[in-house]
Structure 1
């Protein structure tokens, strides 16, 4: 069982995340997704395409900026 040692960590969907980095990721992804959507030409499929490309760019930026916080502990099983 994983124990929360720091107060700035929360559990989201059975994973441990930092509140600060979660907010940063939300801001980065929102900015890139909406930026792509609003910069797109007004032809019907292009805003969706540009928004999806913006979301992928935001995701890529977040994987570079934010490192995982997982800690794996190896335990021996008694037989």
Structure 2
């Protein structure tokens, strides 16, 4: 195993049987937490609104993360149709 593969193995953790870079995971958690809690705290203090604002904040955080963090998975075709 060369140094690049060893370094990649050390930078990744397994989440749901998939390898994830720790830096990207932490960045996504921070972004989604900030957008979710920010939207929750700016919501009016009426019964269902904080829930909906928090869910909208989580969705906005997910969209932001999908643009910032690019997938690292490569697929190779086998020539089958």
TM-score, normalisation: structure 2 = 0.82
- Which residue of the other structure, out of 8, 20, 25, is the alignment partner of 2:23? 20
In structure 2, list runs of 5 or more residues that go unmatched.
Answer: none
Report deviation, 1:29: 0.3
Distance in 2, matches of 1:23 and 1:31, equals 12
- Corresponding residue for residue 50 of structure 2: 47
The alignment yields a C-alpha RMSD, in angstroms, of 1.5
Q: Which structure features the higher share of helix residues?
A: 2
In structure 1, list runs of 5 or more residues that go unmatched.
Answer: none
User: Across the two proteins, how many residue pairs are aligned to each other?
Assistant: 73
TM-score, normalisation: structure 1 = 0.84
Q: 1:1-79 alignment to 2 at 5 Å? A: 5=5, 6=8, 7-75=10-78
